Structure 1
Amino acid sequence: MGLQATSTLSVDTARSSGGRRKIYPWIVFALAFGLLLSDYMSRQVLSAVFPILKADWDLSDSHLASLSSVVALMVGLLTFPLSLLADRWGRVKSLILMAVLWSVATLLCAIAQSYEQMLGARFLVGVGEAAYGSVGIAVVLSVFAPRVHAMLAGAFMAGGSFGSVIGVAIGGFIAVQFSWRWSFAAMAIFGLILVALFRALVTEKKLAAYAVEGSAGAAAEPDGYRAPVSTLFTNPAVLFAYIGGGLQMFTAAVLLAWLPSFFNRYYDLAPDKAGVMASVFVLLVGSGMVVCGFITDRFSHDNSAKKWTTAIVYCVISLVSLGIGLRLGTGTAQLVLLGIGAFFSAGCSGPTAAMVANLTHHSIRASAMGTLTVANNLLGLALGPFVIGILADHLGLLRALQLSPLVYIAAVVAFVAGKRAYPAGIRRLENLQKAPAMDA
């Protein structure tokens, strides 16, 4: 009773301080969002210094691609198990450890003396960043009312693109003005400063005191029923959503990794200016994720099956725009088409997440989102830059980039199949939701 009274008192105390009650959740969001920016700045700064590393260490494009893809590969492999571990060990402690690891690993990139040392440091960056997205959004949503969760989740996800923009733009500038080593060092220092602030202001006790009833991460429903984890993989419609979502990230990942090199080689821009130019397109990718999600919500408010349609449309627009744009000569027309393609290149992210949420039981929805993250990384973020790097060694970078939009065809096939399987998938979910009542 004493423990319960103390817990109740702490919650009441937090809620009675009206100003702090409203401000603290936004402090949590700001710090978590800042660390997400640091996450992607540390990941994407490499793209800004590709041309310099290629010249300094005489690296092939496949070598450069492996330095980029190893991070996404680790994220894809470790997101699910590390998310489960964070739920048991403590989310705040886990986030702090993750951020320290990727920041220190980024510092190791700054002092690397060879390709092998850089690859090892980038491996550690990937380990540190693996579960930050899933655990970070769980922490944020836990202190906000459910009515604003969709908006916050969308803003949090788009933070990855914004962090990429900052990392590429600032990294390229620092590399030219000082050296590529200082590009990595600056990202590491920024991350460690944010870790110190997060550690000082966010604790498990404070999160518990400010937790909102019914928020993400609630342990269980009143009936205590938890759907089998196997249902994440036995519903064909969900599987098609995973596959389509991962494949649509392929070309978006290629743009994030290779646009600085594209502008350096074919527009004759110095690495800093190439990074700034590429950052504009990366910003379009992130903005497109937000806008396309909004359009999808408005278009499908009366019929959730229409989300599949919007995903197909976004893929087709990117396929056509990038397919034509990359075959034009350098100039304004090419840049306009590349901009349109970039805007819609990851537009399926919101619809795909909504499809997965609609088709999975509430008790394992977080695991479903983790599975989608794995698919996005293994099929898109890791595979895309690496495959294009290998092709670039044999065909040239431009020819390799011209082939990358063709992956949207496979994504469209997956989304069309998913749309056909969707009604049966909904029926499967309805039967699963009736299971607790039948057991009772």
Structure 2
Amino acid sequence: MAAYHHSAADDGEDTSIGISRRYAWIVFALTFGLLISDYMSRQVLNAVFPLLKAEWTLSDSQLGLLSGIVAIMVGLLTFPLSLVADRFGRVRSLALMAGLWSLATLGCALAENYQQMFLARFLVGVGEAAYGSVGIAVVVAVFPREMRATLAGSFMAGGMFGSVLGIALGGVLAQHLGWRWAFAGMALFGLLLAILYPLIVKEARIAPRRQADEAGKAALKSRRPLRTLYSSRSVIGAYVGSGLQLFVGGTVIVWIPSYLNRYYAMGTDKAGAVASIIVLCSGVGIILCGMLCDRLGRSRPDRKISLAIGYCLGSCLLLSLAFSLPPGTAQLVLICLGMMVAAGTNGPSSAMVANLTHYSVHGTAFATLTLANNLLGLATGPLITGKVSDLIGLDKAFQLVPLISILAAAVFFYARGHYHNDMARLKDEKAGETPRNAALESHA
């Protein structure tokens, strides 16, 4: 087999031409802010688990379902809603989604029983379904391709920072004002941003190249770009590996406040504050690991996959050691370090997906990644861990969770073996489209 020389210039389509760097950062800030709101609304529930458990006499399985239903709806709806957003306008779609999840979070504050809370959380999931995928497509589109792992990682870190704020502020509000105000506070913040976003971010300004490219529109209507979502082994590996690794990180984020409450005897405010530090470490890890990937991958883009493998194995070692220790400072330090490394695969996997798929369907591509993240990780992890916790205790369940990272590492290793050939094939397909696009323009 002939060797394929893979340079940084070959590492995907550059869609940022014609967009000023200043406006790109404004778009990033607002899109990042909405992602923070997204996760504040999602994770505030975890801070009030002990209060809901006591007030409504709920089991861990029921609490896990309240958390997991959001991820399930995100997983089920992210693909079709992202496809709609790619075709009919990403900015309008993002604003509508933010309005829906914020109103649904307000519904959580008004819930009178478990059934009403479940319905409200269901609607939170519907509202959040495509935000992460469409939002990251917007961010990737306005920055140069060599910044993809850093920007994708930084954007996804917004989920961690939102989780920090949701858990920490939710815990404080619940302790002093009651759990209903915890939900209400998150809802009001989201509604404000949902109104502001479409007033500043304009579709015509974030995609000048795509709107001017009539050939790109013709390609979007065909099935060729959509085939890039699943046509290579390495992009499938990115989906599956990312989802399996998020089984670990997502489970710890959901259950760590309850773990601190049960085994450290912390109240909801203190447990929320400590849990927020752990989640903050995840957010910092996403950014630093993404920056490392971009730096080391400038001349060898496949190094990002090697780093993803290292992040998986490192997090498995650190978290397995942490949960084998008795409660105490050493355990908390190791959990923080393990979560920092565990979250590191977000940047590499997002960059892989952007590089291996057609730019015109990036929203749908990231929806596919989100689908895998939720169905394999964020939904499955908390649900399975809740059921195992009911049987053997949360401390014992946490000892088993890090082992999933070994499977994630194996999948990324498989993807690495096919990355060069898959990028070469995608480059050849794009080269083949150029004469066809020129013909379309000559007939226009």
Do both proteins adopt the same fold according to a TM-score greater than 0.5, normalized to the shorter chain?
A: yes
* 1:111 equivalent in structure 2: 110
* 2:394 equivalent in structure 1: 397
Partners of 2:244 and 2:56 in 1: how far apart?
A: 32
> What's the offset of the Cα at 1:139?
4.5
Matched, 1:351 2:351: no
**Counterpart amino acid of residue 118 in structure 1:** M
- Among 261, 266, 270, which residue is 2:263 paired with? 266
**Counterpart amino acid of residue 233 in structure 2:** P
- Select between 39-48 and 216-225 the one with higher mean Cα deviation: 216-225
Partners of 1:287 and 1:300 in 2: how far apart?
A: 20
- Select between 211-220 and 42-51 the one with higher mean Cα deviation: 211-220
Are residues 25 and 412 of structure 1, via their aligned partners in 2, closer, same or farther at CA, if it must alter by over 3 Å? closer
Are residues 434 and 418 of structure 1, via their aligned partners in 2, closer, same or farther at CA, if it must alter by over 3 Å? same
SS in 2 for 1:234: coil
Q: TM-score, normalised by structure 2?
A: 0.86
* 1:196 equivalent in structure 2: 195
Partners of 2:243 and 2:341 in 1: how far apart?
A: 15
1:308-354 Cα shifts (integer Å, max 9, x gaps): 21111111110000001101011122112111101011111111122
**Counterpart amino acid of residue 242 in structure 1:** Y
SS in 1 for 2:326: coil
> What's the offset of the Cα at 1:193?
2.3
Partners of 2:397 and 2:214 in 1: how far apart?
A: 47
1:87-131 Cα shifts (integer Å, max 9, x gaps): 344333322221221111111111112111111100000000111
Partners of 1:23 and 1:131 in 2: how far apart?
A: 26
> What's the offset of the Cα at 1:266?
0.6
Partners of 1:76 and 1:328 in 2: how far apart?
A: 34
Q: TM-score, normalised by structure 1?
A: 0.87
Q: In the comparison of the two structures, how many residue pairs are matched?
A: 417
**Counterpart amino acid of residue 285 in structure 1:** S
Percent of aligned pairs with the same amino acid: 52
Contact 2:134–2:367 (CA under 8 A) maintained in structure 1: no
Partners of 2:180 and 2:212 in 1: how far apart?
A: 40
**Counterpart amino acid of residue 66 in structure 1:** L
Are residues 216 and 333 of structure 1, via their aligned partners in 2, closer, same or farther at CA, if it must alter by over 3 Å? farther
Are residues 211 and 417 of structure 1, via their aligned partners in 2, closer, same or farther at CA, if it must alter by over 3 Å? closer
> What's the offset of the Cα at 1:369?
2.2
* 1:383 equivalent in structure 2: 380
Partners of 2:96 and 2:245 in 1: how far apart?
A: 31
* 2:12 equivalent in structure 1: none
* 1:123 equivalent in structure 2: 122
Partners of 2:211 and 2:317 in 1: how far apart?
A: 38
- Select between 350-359 and 396-405 the one with higher mean Cα deviation: 350-359
Contact 1:220–1:363 (CA under 8 A) maintained in structure 2: no
Q: For 1:337-376, what aligned pairs fall within 5 Å after superposition?
A: 337-376=334-373
**Counterpart amino acid of residue 409 in structure 1:** I
Runs of 5+ unmatched residues, structure 2: 1-17, 440-444
> What's the offset of the Cα at 1:143?
6.0
> What's the offset of the Cα at 1:218?
6.6
* 1:5 equivalent in structure 2: none
* 2:3 equivalent in structure 1: none
Q: For 1:27-66, what aligned pairs fall within 5 Å after superposition?
A: 27-66=26-65
Contact 1:235–1:428 (CA under 8 A) maintained in structure 2: no
- Select between 355-364 and 413-422 the one with higher mean Cα deviation: 355-364
> What's the offset of the Cα at 1:362?
4.0
Partners of 1:27 and 1:256 in 2: how far apart?
A: 29
* 1:303 equivalent in structure 2: 300
* 1:101 equivalent in structure 2: 100
* 1:236 equivalent in structure 2: 233
**Counterpart amino acid of residue 171 in structure 1:** G
Partners of 2:218 and 2:123 in 1: how far apart?
A: 41
Contact 1:138–1:216 (CA under 8 A) maintained in structure 2: no
Contact 2:49–2:63 (CA under 8 A) maintained in structure 1: yes
Matched, 1:433 2:415: no
Are residues 52 and 216 of structure 1, via their aligned partners in 2, closer, same or farther at CA, if it must alter by over 3 Å? farther
Are residues 31 and 308 of structure 1, via their aligned partners in 2, closer, same or farther at CA, if it must alter by over 3 Å? closer
